[in-house]
Structure 1
Amino acid sequence: MKYILVFLFSLAIVGCAGNDELPDIAADTGEQQIYEEAQRYLRSSNWDLAVRSLQLLESRYPFGKYAEQAQLEIIYAHYNGYEHEAAVEAADRFIRLHPAHPNVDYAYYMKGLAAYTGNDDIFSRFLPTDESERDVTQAKEAFAEFNQLVSRYPASPYAPDARARMVHLRNLLARHEILVANYYFRRGAYMAATNRGRYVVENFQRSPAVADGLAVMAQGYILLGLDDLAKDTIEVLALNYPNHPNIDKNGNFKSVYTLDGLQRNWINKATFGLFFPPTPPQFDTRPKL
């Protein structure tokens, strides 16, 4: 209980800090002075006042020497203040106004980063969840934005991090498809499940989820009565992933439903199917945390 109270108190402090009033700045205050004030807010992580100071600087000195830098730092401040949509809008504005700017790659990078963390908030730090179980719309957007960056500016200093995040996003999207396939198996939608597995195999070749995608396809074909396709898929799975948990030492497919039919446990058999019925097939071979 003590830790909960401390956490709530810290949130209250954050909330109060966000309501600070921007000090009155005289109309004749110089560009340099306003910029330095904004930098002070950035250094102290007072993102709200940093944004407002930078916006004031831009409005008063739209053609000044700090105007373009202020626009870039507004993106940064919005992002750090968990205002991801505002960060994307600010980045879009900079790209539109300065398409040939030497730092425009930073705007593309921040667009991807804002989408990448778009589902995150302060609570996600304390209540971690499986990313692949969430809505992946923003993950797809982030992948597209990072892809734009590495395609347009492959030598950008932000490109290596963008590529690394793209690998993570690709694996995340592939795993999401497997989880959706598992859901379809539970609902008895075998064709839909099979299609999800095939989508992973065809579109995420370098993802660790490909092995489960093949297992999903094999299981789906078995349940659909497409034994020839099931055998071909099992051969591919056994050849490329012989240690997959759904492949036995002889290269045969192991699951609740195999080419030999439904595999029931002895209690289920002894009770004529009344107890411990076979559970729907599920595929998720990620290491357990």
Structure 2
Amino acid sequence: MKTFRYMAPLVVGVMVSVAGCSSSDDAEEQAALANMGAQQMYQQAQQNMQAGNFSAASNTLSALDSRYPFGPLSHQVQLDLIYSYYKSGKIDETVATIDRFIRLNPNHSDIDYAFYMRGLVNMEADNNLFQELMNIDRSDRDPAKSRQAFDDFRRLIQQYPDSKYAADARKRMMFIKNRLASYEIAIAKFYMRREAYVAAANRGRYVIEHFPDSDQVQRALEIMVSSYEELGLTELRDNAMKTLKLNYPDSRYIG
């Protein structure tokens, strides 16, 4: 305890020193930007992006966007700012910049890119890196961001079917379908454990109706078979079993 008590002032001093350096660096950066013209600022941002320093790039681009909102570089600045925010992990700033670009430039030639990036950002906002690293299954977490991403990609494909981003958007929509179907199955399993068989069967049927091409269809049918069996709904059970046998003959629920 004594050692810690003696070290504490040193640790605090280092933290203050670092904070002071950071503030000093920010002040110097702002001063340098204040003396630059639009072209110089843009070149600086490009250099930062090429070096992988997207945080610095976003700071410069944001300052450039604020200082010259209607300049000849304004559209490209906003597009680069979207990408820099995205690469910096600044989700809220990315979405806000995308929405502003779409609102102000509905007929721009790169509007499809804006919609694609919106879907990409929302899709990644639903991911949890820690859970992935620890191999933790959290299919039951709220998929609101995935639903938004699905809508973003769908809008891109519907409005700009020939976009160079359309093919990747379709692949991502398939991934999202599996994510949403997994969520429904996770909730259905919860209801099964609580013996709420009607609710469980309804979740299974929802997967069949809305995500028939997902990787959760077999599990949905199995839940329906089990739920209808528990409820004594023989006809519905037999219909679900028939579909299960036809499509997934190796299911352990058969026989």
Q: Normalization by structure 1: what TM-score? A: 0.75
Structure 2: how far apart are the matches of 1:173 and 1:129?
Answer: 17
Compute the displacement of 1:27 (Å).
Answer: 4.7
Compute the displacement of 1:129 (Å).
Answer: 3.5
Structure 1: how far apart are the matches of 2:105 and 2:113?
Answer: 12
Structure 2: how far apart are the matches of 1:119 and 1:18?
Answer: 31
CA RMSD of aligned residues (A): 2.3
> Percent identity between the aligned chains?
40
Is the counterpart of residue 119 in structure 1 residue 126 in structure 2? Answer: yes
Which is richer in helix?
2
Structure 2: how far apart are the matches of 1:87 and 1:157?
Answer: 21
Is the counterpart of residue 100 in structure 1 residue 104 in structure 2? Answer: no
Map of 1:1-289 to 2, 5 A cutoff? 21=26, 22-25=29-32, 27=34, 29-120=36-127, 123=130, 126-130=133-137, 132-247=139-254, 252=255
Compute the displacement of 1:128 (Å).
Answer: 4.5
Q: Is the 8 A contact 2:57 2:84 kept in 1?
A: yes
Q: Call closer, same or farther: CA 1:81–1:120 in 2, change over 3 Å.
A: farther
Deviations 1:55-86 (A, max 9, x none): 22122222222111111111111111111121
Total equivalences in the alignment? 235
| Unmatched runs of 5 consecutive residues or more in structure 1 | 1-11, 253-289
Alignment match, 2:5 = none
Q: Call closer, same or farther: CA 1:27–1:138 in 2, change over 3 Å.
A: closer
Compute the displacement of 1:49 (Å).
Answer: 2.0
Q: Hey, which bits of structure 1, 4+ residues long, moved more than 6 A?
A: 15-19
Compute the displacement of 1:245 (Å).
Answer: 2.4
In structure 1, give the amino acid aligned to 2:236.
L
Q: Normalization by structure 2: what TM-score? A: 0.84
Q: Is the 8 A contact 1:18 1:46 kept in 2?
A: no
In structure 2, give the amino acid aligned to 1:110.
M
Q: Is the 8 A contact 1:184 1:193 kept in 2?
A: yes
Deviations 1:10-45 (A, max 9, x none): xx9xx9999752242365632211100111221223
Compute the displacement of 1:208 (Å).
Answer: 2.0
